[in-house]
Chain A
């Protein structure tokens, strides 16, 4: 057979020629399509009925190829057989090394010298990939249905718990365990609907966290780290939407959240603009695009008005841009109203900024803008100054987000019921 000749030939070459033929052999052997397609193709073997064989074998070839490819993918991806949230081996290890998290121990044993691990509460932790570590052992990998159950547990019983405190600790735990779920997904090369369900929950969690933990000290919560991971999850999710067969009923919700979170970003805007018409015309995406456009035009009065129409989680997504919006508004007003006799009513400004008047006065102070005792703002372009590092506490000005939370529980928010 042709292929056997070929591989023999290359094998001989390796013995004779050394390094770059190794590279070549790898290329050759890894392109398994080459293997499967050379064999049946009529044109190679019988030059006489070349055309006939080619036509016939072309369809055969395509079928064989398709089967081969599917087999390849299933064979290449490691199998997962762990049916618990935490592999038994890991639970045993961490228990004996006293490395269990307090959320993972049998209640009542926390103060023991070696707390007992609760198999119903222990969750596989994230571990850095390292040389020599075999991450593909089936008993260590959780299949998609177990992964989904794990994520739901993390959301319902940990993130959504009303008794576990402080929430920074809850966040750290859930963040880490979700990362491990992501690892399992990557190793198994999950795609499509399996991935989407898990990613959607994860994205909602990170978006909510970006608002909830705003203002916490850096050593406890770093918004940049949360952001890095959130962007990765978003990109992966959008990839799944693009390449999968669907349908994805939540796509509208998540494209909206993605755009609001990345407000003003050209790549994010371009991505949304390139979505199919029927998605772009949905109410939430239209609203998000309008908000995005207002942001790009610098029309923050219009923007803050539109924000009132967003739901709680959407406002969480947008929340980190509020500082920029309000600052810009104060800046352009400092220029636009700059005159000796400027007397701009504080109440009016408060309305425009979607803030209480007292908070508006505080915000003006932070930016060096004078407010007189008659509650009038004296805008002046020379007065406007950037606040000192740490002087502006975003949390103080959160009412626009917090007032939308009303009776919503964390659990329902992350499950998408806003």
Chain B
């Protein structure tokens, strides 16, 4: 591959096209394939050669591809521009009945996104251009490919609908870079949910898909997030340590919030290099001071991952656990002062009786405590049976 001539390369593509070998054709147009290292394929103006051997529109498409990696070494912004041409040609013949276009589409759109990413970084370093501009353009291209796939009417074997999940995943990767673009995921999710191919995609694609949809659900405070992220984690291949870690980063806070009985073991955290969660896990059992310290210590990491806010929600649970642990007394009438002392011990600053009452009222309202506050007696009166219902039973 690294030594073939331009003619041989073009002949191979031509053959692949004529024999409907979609995957091989895709390889010849992908940047992951060794042919990109071949200097003989880096021509000044490949158009003529391409025209000689290939039929339109493949001639321009391959020509654009050859231009792309000729400049890729210098400049990703350039590479991106040429790759855009490749994709736009692809869209043109997508509207014809071309089977096996899907592997080509997958390879080419993947490269488009990667170039857009790199081009963004290059522009940022030079301080030029609007942030997000290149990715936005790439997203538009991918979105039109998605529409072509979604509206394909061919029979299920030849249908371009098989490309929908791959494209969605590519688009998710772009949209998730900016919080205010997340709403753009909705039409994609809707389209896939309503398609009959929903469960038939490859496991790898499904894992990626559920990971992103799970994260979106988390952002929307939708309880489905646990189910989606768990699926992704369980089905993710054992060897993809990095991916499993990424899923865990979002699955752990959700599990801690919804199923407080299921705290991650220290072993698990060590295995996936997520020790940041260790202190948080321990703190939720009732140590408010430790929780505040843990959140502040790893603030940067949690904020960057976008889970800082959801972890702060654990505070309520921690209050509940603190009160329950600290006040396992025989009496069912607990003076409010005792709670105040408990909080002061946890170094919660400037909290007074009024705030204690507010906290307790909140816990009662949320169902974490069964009882009521008596203002006259300055006491919390709890139910004799089960004053602190198990957390998993409280929504």
Contact = CB atoms under 8 A, between A and B. Distances in A.
Contacts of B373: 336-337
Contacts of B118: none
A336 B380 CA distance: 9
A23 B364 CA distance: 63
Interface string A324-345: 0000010111011111011111
Contacts of A28: 85
Given A5-B45, A44-B44, A270-B179, A33 B358 contact: no
A24 B358 contact: no
Interface string B358-381: 111110110000001111100001
B130 interface: yes
B92 A20 contact: yes
B55 to A, nearest CB: 13
A306 B180 CA distance: 29
A267 B309 contact: no
Interface string A342-361: 11110010001000000000
Interface residues of B, number: 48
B81 A335 contact: no
A266 B75 CA distance: 37
Given A9-B47, A266-B219, A339 B365 contact: no
A267 B375 contact: no
Interface of B: 44-45, 47, 56, 60, 70, 74-75, 77-78, 81, 84-85, 88-89, 92, 128, 130-131, 179-180, 219, 303-304, 306, 308-309, 312-313, 315-316, 351, 354-355, 357-362, 364-365, 372-376, 381
Contacts of A31: 81
B362 A332 contact: yes
Contacts of A339: 372, 374, 381
A344 B45 CA distance: 85
A69 B129 CA distance: 10
A331 B358 CA distance: 11
A151 B364 CA distance: 51
Given A299-B358, A300-B358, A331 B365 contact: yes
Nearest to B302: A273
A297 interface: yes
Interface in A1-15: 2, 5-6, 9
B85 A344 contact: no
B275 to A, nearest CB: 22
Contacts of B309: 266, 269-270, 273, 296
Contact of A33 (B77, B84, B357, B360): B77
A243 B45 CA distance: 38
Given A24-B88, A243-B131, 20 more contacts: A2-B45, A23-B88, A24-B60, A24-B85, A27-B84, A33-B77, A37-B75, A43-B70, A44-B44, A242-B131, A266-B219, A274-B304, A299-B359, A332-B365, A335-B365, A336-B357, A336-B361, A336-B362, A342-B372, A352-B358
Contact of A271 (B179, B219, B351): B179
Contacts of A23: 88
A9 B130 CA distance: 32
B81 A270 contact: no
Contacts of A137: none
Nearest to A277: B300
Contacts of B75: 37
A123 B372 CA distance: 62
Contacts of B85: 24, 27-28
A344 B131 contact: no
A88 interface: no
Contacts of B359: 299
A58 interface: yes
Given A293-B312, A332-B365, A342 B355 contact: no
Most buried by B among A54, A243, A335: A335
B365 A336 contact: yes
Contacts of B312: 293, 296-297
A296 B309 CA distance: 9
Interface string A234-260: 010000001100000000000000000
28 contacts: A5-B45, A27-B85, A33-B77, A33-B78, A37-B75, A41-B74, A44-B44, A45-B44, A266-B219, A270-B306, A271-B179, A273-B308, A293-B312, A296-B312, A297-B315, A298-B362, A299-B362, A301-B354, A302-B358, A332-B361, A335-B365, A339-B374, A339-B381, A342-B372, A342-B375, A343-B376, A344-B375, A348-B375
